[in-house]
Amino acid sequence: MNRKLRMGMVGGGRGAFIGQVHRMAANLDGKIELVAGAFSSDPEKSRLSGEDFFLDPDRVYGSYEEMAKAEAAREDGIDFVSIVVQNHLHFAVAKTFLEAGINVICDKPLTVDLEQAKELKKIVDESGLVFALTHNYTGYPMVKEARRMVKDGELGRLLKIVAEYPQGYAVGDVEGERSGAISNWRADPKIAGKSNCMGDIGTHAHNLTKYITGLEVEELAAELTAFIPGRELDDDGNCLVRFTDGVKGIIYASQISNGDENDLTIRIYGTKASIEWHQEDPNELIVKYANAPRQTYRRGNDYLGEAAQANTRTPFAHPEGFIEAFANVYLAAAEAIVDQIDGNPAPDCGYDFPTVDDGVAGVAFIQACVDSSSNNAAWTKLDL
Amino acid sequence: MNRKLRMGMVGGGRGAFIGQVHRMAANLDGKIELVAGAFSSDPEKSRLSGEDFFLDPDRVYGSYEEMAKAEAAREDGIDFVSIVVQNHLHFAVAKTFLEAGINVICDKPLTVDLEQAKELKKIVDESGLVFALTHNYTGYPMVKEARRMVKDGELGRLLKIVAEYPQGYAVGDVEGERSGAISNWRADPKIAGKSNCMGDIGTHAHNLTKYITGLEVEELAAELTAFIPGRELDDDGNCLVRFTDGVKGIIYASQISNGDENDLTIRIYGTKASIEWHQEDPNELIVKYANAPRQTYRRGNDYLGEAAQANTRTPFAHPEGFIEAFANVYLAAAEAIVDQIDGNPAPDCGYDFPTVDDGVAGVAFIQACVDSSSNNAAWTKLDL
Amino acid sequence: MNRKLRMGMVGGGRGAFIGQVHRMAANLDGKIELVAGAFSSDPEKSRLSGEDFFLDPDRVYGSYEEMAKAEAAREDGIDFVSIVVQNHLHFAVAKTFLEAGINVICDKPLTVDLEQAKELKKIVDESGLVFALTHNYTGYPMVKEARRMVKDGELGRLLKIVAEYPQGYAVGDVEGERSGAISNWRADPKIAGKSNCMGDIGTHAHNLTKYITGLEVEELAAELTAFIPGRELDDDGNCLVRFTDGVKGIIYASQISNGDENDLTIRIYGTKASIEWHQEDPNELIVKYANAPRQTYRRGNDYLGEAAQANTRTPFAHPEGFIEAFANVYLAAAEAIVDQIDGNPAPDCGYDFPTVDDGVAGVAFIQACVDSSSNNAAWTKLDL
Amino acid sequence: MNRKLRMGMVGGGRGAFIGQVHRMAANLDGKIELVAGAFSSDPEKSRLSGEDFFLDPDRVYGSYEEMAKAEAAREDGIDFVSIVVQNHLHFAVAKTFLEAGINVICDKPLTVDLEQAKELKKIVDESGLVFALTHNYTGYPMVKEARRMVKDGELGRLLKIVAEYPQGYAVGDVEGERSGAISNWRADPKIAGKSNCMGDIGTHAHNLTKYITGLEVEELAAELTAFIPGRELDDDGNCLVRFTDGVKGIIYASQISNGDENDLTIRIYGTKASIEWHQEDPNELIVKYANAPRQTYRRGNDYLGEAAQANTRTPFAHPEGFIEAFANVYLAAAEAIVDQIDGNPAPDCGYDFPTVDDGVAGVAFIQACVDSSSNNAAWTKLDL
């Protein structure tokens, strides 16, 4: 196309963290332009956010329904919408835009329950439109390199996976008079869904296992806990996991791991080699062997595979981070959106972004965690 | 005492790794002298080992029974014996020396089953002798500092513990014609007991949680696996754990984590702070807070607690390692042995080495892992 | 302003690394829009680059002189120009735009010799326009935190500085038939100026010492070397340095440090504490004390100073990198440009971006390195 | 030999750090026995130290002269003496024992001036006795692996060396009323010799460059500084260095690098690869390439060279440290001492411990640093 892609946004007004991240990811490469938005359910807040982003006031809407209708009708309407509302609204907003014929990039988790997830998948499949889910950690180049190594058999037969995602931000006020003070909509089951910790971040760890190895979780035994007094939803969860192909392992996530920041880590063990990746040190991939020196693969080098190289913007050791990884999801989705608009077929290799299927698997994972835990950690199969 | 302590050894002849470690630990500080041994059940091998160690040939024995009898009868007989035989012999050898009135330092695990463990505890308790178990990782100064921090309340109320012990040495030949070739007596249930991986190293991880926090494992849900075809015993095990005081967590151990070497790691999360210690980087203890910079406590500094300082031999950043930690267990046991010989009471603060009680808890942990796993990871209480 | 700033670019067409970085830095926050450019001295290449960036063909120019004239005449002309041409053209291009009344953001080094540098400073000072130099490493939040700590006296009196910048990219073909094959315009004195390695990266290390500590280099003893046969300019340089206030230290840079990537590191030692920062791990600042645990300050936390917090886009441990740091220089310059356009006075605290004065100091540093080295490392004062 | 080697010690009584280290190094492997000593110039202190070490009171002496005479006369006299007195006494004590026909292991630096050093070398050479100097950092297995890699050409042609040794222990009281309070005999030129910092630790860094690469320092330009008011000798020193074979680099040492502990680090750059070793993380050797993943060689693995494997006591990731490295120097010297006693020729490969020649080179290095610095960092050749 000889123009930038036109993006709209639902949610993500002033002060919203994830909305700002989506905008920076879209801005970074100069190929996408934010032109419209319904940034808040409060029309005045939406309007002010529109000013912050230098938008045409006519394209700043008071509701997402209005926006979908108006933009679908415009000659120069948006090419896709970014949905960054709270979890419980993902389904309705996505459905509305898809039914208006507009491509979607949606924040995770896909929906707040499995029924919605499967219905949304149906809508997406029937629409012929692009639907990308921002499991952004798959956008890191060294995660793509990890995936390549598994696919190329460099690890041999896989044996074990340990994926963990400890955070500590929710522990500060466990006790004393401010007990429970750290709380947000993620702790509210009406908004967040059936799980807080596993839904918010456990699902990222789960998705990472799936993206890198191609394996599905078959069944799991989970213990979810709400350590903060007064919480309805879990702030910590530990799972024994049985993957397909006889692979076993552990997935855990936590928001009460005091002082841990955003320490998503995955270790994958195979008969020939093992790999280890830390989100807090994302430009490196550690490769371990039984009988040879440990290797550190570093982003930006020529010896890396195609995907790792294609998803990189700066030379080695000019560190890339969270926003660049997020932008890689946007770029991959943008490629599909351009093809959709231009009527081009998908490339043989497909596109490299998380889809509605990843979203359904994620919600099934959350559901299985909740079910297992309420059944004293009994083994529970994923309803895929 | 105005002389070195006299040590005997059972097992640990030429080529035996752990015997050499015990000897170096005993030698290091110049306070203990090896004077006698039954280094092998083969008398000729025992004799040759005695030559290696420059021993008086009269005190190199062909069997441990003979040694116990002869040394107990000598005026200058050994003050204690180090038992470094295979697991299934720990009980009989320890019993023999205790009954001969000789103090014991014994390698872990205590015994190969829980009945033996409890019986040995009884024998020890009735003997009035010193019995030390070499859960050597408790000997590291920074592990002692971790324990002090927990005891002094610097972590607040404990919430979660993650203890892991991945090794990869047993994975090399999972497949192909040499499949299963990597094997040793630890894989033989008649020698090693009911578990290989959890018995050999999982029990170290368990002991570390107990030593640092003082908490007991109440119940656990374990999945043990023998990934190497043809193995009778587990080479990998993952446990969900419920500790006393409502603390939860994970303990896992593995010998098929390709390329991992000896990566015993423990993370303990409390309401005020968290700590993290890696055996592969033992001179550091990482302390994390929700709202303050992360701190790294380093061995050899004046700001550390008494135990960390007392168990150190060199100034900061003159790295100490595995042998020094092992030697700390020997020094603490030696202190008790001297008191026993001299008829002194124990100091008010007690001694700082793993005891027969730790040994019983360890065997109960192994037993619970095996029972839970054979019951599809059902929650299983420790029989303490 | 109720619109995005309008940016033009000179240089930086297809395939140019630093041009792309400047564009991403400008794009990231959605406050700057690229609207014009003279991307190459070859008009056809310039035109094609303009297409890549979706520009109005009328504002893609065949020469920078034409661009300066045309944009200065437009009602909606550019608010500032980014200059990303080769070193030897910095002076002429900057002069042209400044004389056309257009604000400038310019890549480093300022110029290829000290006479030009001082003349450009005069032009800038007389113009009343904004001139920002992209010593981008000063844009990292933890570098700003380091600066704050020094300023607030947290290090005590400064004693020593060690700044190093080893790279290895130029060593690959030191020997054999492809000897000297790795070469680019930076090795050509007619384009790069009097130094390659010290001019290209040594000057970043120098600037970092100045930015963080406020100290000037008084004199230095330098040994520059061209290790690659056939090179006219240095690919390695080591300096003993005497700073103002009696501080001493080392600055070195290298392009033949095989396998080092972009390892800019600075260590600053004071009587109370010391700090250490590694560009390859930019989200951390290590703070060391003689008698207290080592601390790790991490980007994104509330305990950091104002500048570190203001120059951050994502929460802790959502890693930020090179582009975000670069974008911080752009944002700070943009703030000044808006004030210049709107006729507002500078804020009391001033702006936080490298200026023409930093540029003059950088060129004086390069000149002193070259002079000292050609005089057998004799002590040489900076001509400031 | 069918007995342990008999060791004597001069210096190193109660409370002396380095004496204790030498004893632990000698004890560790059970092949050496401390049997005699003159632990202090105060006979009563010497006697009490002898009690601490359980020695025969008849072999605890009030002076080293007395000890040399008495032990030389005994049938069961010492096989060698360890000299751990202050620097200014090394020469006299070593001379005395050599002239009594007793082998010597001596702490560094060899002597306090170059004349003494050369004279001592003459005495050693004429004696036919073993003389080992405890440049203990050469005892680390991964340092030996580094040496092997250089020797085997795995780095290609060497280009650059950066060796640094920052400590911070002497900075605590730079200012205020306790200014200069941190001081010890190393700051006294009558005891320490002409340099404090370069003599005490800079010489270790220098020796490490020589041991690993086989290169000599040809000339250097040094700036030594006494940052602590009132000090006569340097507490910091920085050198530009020209090695043989056209290799260049930097050697620096410091005792005022606040918060640094014992951070001896060496980086060696070649045309094919580079290596990096940190004394604070001694079990790893980092190997870097221009076009391949970075490798981490780890102690205890089969893929390492012969020397690295032979100088190891525990399996991989059972960390070894400072004492084990020190003990490797003792073991290598003991091998030579046994050959000397038994009248065996040296093995073809020679012995692997620092010699009197290393000692002379070290003193020449110190002298050149002092001379260069007092001549405003003029290039100064080593008088070898």
Say if the Cβ atoms of B259 and A294 lie within 8 Å: yes
Smallest CA–CA distance, residue C301 to chain B, in Å, is 7
In total, the C-beta contacts within 8 angstroms joining chain A to chain C are 104
Is residue D320 situated within a structural domain? Answer: no
**Chain D residue with minimum CA distance to B301:** D261
A 284-303 residues with CB below 8 A of B?
A: 287-291, 294
| A381 in B contact zone (CB under 8 Å) | no
- Which amino acid is present at C135? H
Helix (H/G/I), strand (E/B), else coil: A72: helix
| Nearest CB to C53; choose among A30, A51, A54 | A30
Q: What is the CA radius of gyration of chain C?
A: 21
A: neighbours with 3+ CB pairs under 8 Å?
Answer: B, C, D
Say if the Cβ atoms of A248 and B156 lie within 8 Å: no
For the stretch D270-282, pLDDT in tens is 999 999 999 999 9
Whether residue D129 sits in one domain with residue D259:
no
| A171 in B contact zone (CB under 8 Å) | yes
CATH number at residue A36: 3.40.50.720
Whether residue A245 sits in one domain with residue A227:
yes
The H or E element spanning position A142 is: helix A141-151
| Nearest CB to A317; choose among C280, C313, C316 | C280
| B278 in D contact zone (CB under 8 Å) | no
Smallest CA–CA distance, residue B344 to chain D, in Å, is 20
In total, the C-beta contacts within 8 angstroms joining chain C to chain D are 141
| B245 in D contact zone (CB under 8 Å) | no
Say if the Cβ atoms of B159 and A175 lie within 8 Å: no
Whether residue D306 sits in one domain with residue D169:
yes
Residue A221 pLDDT more than 60?
yes
Q: Write down the mean pLDDT value for chain C.
A: 95
**Chain A residue with minimum CA distance to B250:** A238
Is residue B320 situated within a structural domain? Answer: no
**% pLDDT > 70, chain D:** 97
Nearest to D104 by CA among D86, D88, D119, D121: D121
B-chain CB neighbours of D24 within 8 Å are 28-30, 313
A-chain CB neighbours of B166 within 8 Å are 267
DSSP state of B73: H
Asked if D205 contacts D253 with a C-beta cutoff of 8 angstroms, the reply is yes
C-chain CB neighbours of B301 within 8 Å are 291, 293
Residue B327 pLDDT more than 70?
yes
Q: ∠ CA(B143), CA(B147), CA(B151), 5° rounding? A: 170
Whether residue B292 sits in one domain with residue B157:
yes
Q: What is the mean pLDDT of residues D223-248?
A: 95
Whether residue D215 sits in one domain with residue D111:
no
What is the distance between the alpha carbons of residues A154 and B278, in angstroms, rounded to a whole number?
Answer: 28
What is the distance between the alpha carbons of residues C96 and C89, in angstroms, rounded to a whole number?
Answer: 11
For the stretch B114-147, pLDDT in tens is 999 999 999 999 999 999 999 999 999 999 999 9
| A189 in B contact zone (CB under 8 Å) | no
What is the distance between the alpha carbons of residues B301 and B145, in angstroms, rounded to a whole number?
Answer: 11
Is residue A113 situated within a structural domain? Answer: yes
What is the distance between the alpha carbons of residues A384 and A118, in angstroms, rounded to a whole number?
Answer: 9
B-chain CB neighbours of C317 within 8 Å are none
Residue D173 pLDDT more than 60?
no
| DSSP letter string, C94-135 | HHHHHHTT-EEEEPSSS-SSHHHHHHHHHHHHHHT--EEE--
Say if the Cβ atoms of C159 and D168 lie within 8 Å: no
Whether residue D254 sits in one domain with residue D129:
no
| D200 in B contact zone (CB under 8 Å) | no
Q: Which of A301-305, B379-383, C166-170, D241-245 has the lowest mean pLDDT?
A: C166-170
Residue A144 pLDDT more than 70?
yes
Whether residue C242 sits in one domain with residue C116:
no
What pLDDT shows up at residue B384? 87
What is the distance between the alpha carbons of residues A86 and D226, in angstroms, rounded to a whole number?
Answer: 62
| A82 in C contact zone (CB under 8 Å) | no
Say if the Cβ atoms of C174 and D160 lie within 8 Å: no
What pLDDT shows up at residue B214? 98
Asked if B370 contacts B197 with a C-beta cutoff of 8 angstroms, the reply is no
| D353 in A contact zone (CB under 8 Å) | no
Smallest CA–CA distance, residue A337 to chain D, in Å, is 36
Helix (H/G/I), strand (E/B), else coil: D143: helix
Smallest CA–CA distance, residue B372 to chain D, in Å, is 31
Is residue A235 situated within a structural domain? Answer: yes
For the stretch C52-61, pLDDT in tens is 999 999 999 9
What pLDDT shows up at residue B371? 98
Q: Report the domain count for chain A.
A: 2
B-chain CB neighbours of C302 within 8 Å are 291
What pLDDT shows up at residue B231? 87
Whether residue A115 sits in one domain with residue A180:
no
Is residue A327 situated within a structural domain? Answer: no
Whether residue D143 sits in one domain with residue D79:
no
What is the distance between the alpha carbons of residues A313 and A200, in angstroms, rounded to a whole number?
Answer: 28
Say if the Cβ atoms of C273 and D294 lie within 8 Å: no
Q: Please report, in angstroms and rounded to a whole number, the separation of the first and last CA atoms in chain D.
A: 38
Say if the Cβ atoms of D263 and B317 lie within 8 Å: yes
What pLDDT shows up at residue C154? 97
- Which amino acid is present at A62? G
Is residue B319 situated within a structural domain? Answer: no
In total, the C-beta contacts within 8 angstroms joining chain B to chain C are 32
Query: CB-based contacts of D323: which residues, under 8 Å, 6+ apart?
Result: B28, B313, B314, B320, B323, B324, D21, D24, D25, D28
Asked if A289 contacts C252 with a C-beta cutoff of 8 angstroms, the reply is no
Grade residue A231 by pLDDT with cuts at 50, 70 and 90: confident
Q: What is the mean pLDDT of residues A200-222?
A: 98
Smallest CA–CA distance, residue C27 to chain A, in Å, is 5
| B263 in D contact zone (CB under 8 Å) | yes
> Best interface-test mutation with C: which of A23, A27, A201, A263 has the largest number of C CBs within 10 A?
A27
ipTM of this model?
A: 0.96
Supply B359's token pair: 């040994």
Whether residue A297 sits in one domain with residue A191:
yes
For the stretch A150-198, pLDDT in tens is 999 999 999 999 999 999 987 765 565 555 555 577 788 899 899 999 9
Strand D103-106 to strand D80-83: parallel, antiparallel, or no bridges (unpaired)?
parallel
Residue B176 pLDDT more than 70?
no
CATH number at residue C260: 3.30.360.10
φ, ψ for residue B371, nearest 5 deg: -65, -45
- Which amino acid is present at B259? G
For the stretch A333-366, pLDDT in tens is 999 999 999 999 999 999 999 999 999 999 999 9
Say if the Cβ atoms of D292 and A302 lie within 8 Å: no
What is the distance between the alpha carbons of residues A196 and A230, in angstroms, rounded to a whole number?
Answer: 14
What pLDDT shows up at residue D290? 87
Helix (H/G/I), strand (E/B), else coil: A248: strand
φ, ψ for residue C214, nearest 5 deg: 75, 0
| B146 in C contact zone (CB under 8 Å) | no
A-chain CB neighbours of B180 within 8 Å are none
B 45-74 residues with CB below 8 A of D?
A: 51, 53-54
Smallest CA–CA distance, residue B267 to chain C, in Å, is 18
For the stretch A318-337, pLDDT in tens is 999 999 999 999 999 999 99
B-chain CB neighbours of D262 within 8 Å are 315-318
β-bridge mates for residue C166, sequence order: C254
C-chain CB neighbours of B299 within 8 Å are none
Whether residue B199 sits in one domain with residue B241:
yes
A-chain CB neighbours of C34 within 8 Å are 30
C-chain CB neighbours of B287 within 8 Å are 293
What pLDDT shows up at residue C120? 98
Say if the Cβ atoms of B301 and C294 lie within 8 Å: no
Helix (H/G/I), strand (E/B), else coil: C301: coil
Whether residue D289 sits in one domain with residue D146:
yes
Residue B183's domain comprises 141-312+360-381
For the stretch A58-117, pLDDT in tens is 999 999 999 999 999 999 999 999 999 999 999 999 999 999 999 999 999 999 999 999
Say if the Cβ atoms of A28 and C24 lie within 8 Å: yes
**Chain D residue with minimum CA distance to C257:** D269
Is residue A279 situated within a structural domain? Answer: yes
**Chain A residue with minimum CA distance to C1:** A54
Residue C153 pLDDT more than 60?
yes
Is residue B237 situated within a structural domain? Answer: yes
Residue D180 pLDDT more than 60?
no
Q: Identify the residue whose tokens are 């030390």.
A: B132
β-bridge mates for residue D242, sequence order: D219, D248
> Best interface-test mutation with B: which of A150, A160, A167, A251 has the largest number of B CBs within 10 A?
A160
Residue A10 pLDDT more than 70?
yes
Asked if C67 contacts C74 with a C-beta cutoff of 8 angstroms, the reply is no
What pTM does this model have?
0.97
DSSP state of A137: G
D101-136 burial: b if 16+ Cβ within 10 Å, else e: ebbbbbbbbbbbbbebbbebbebbeebebbbbbbbb
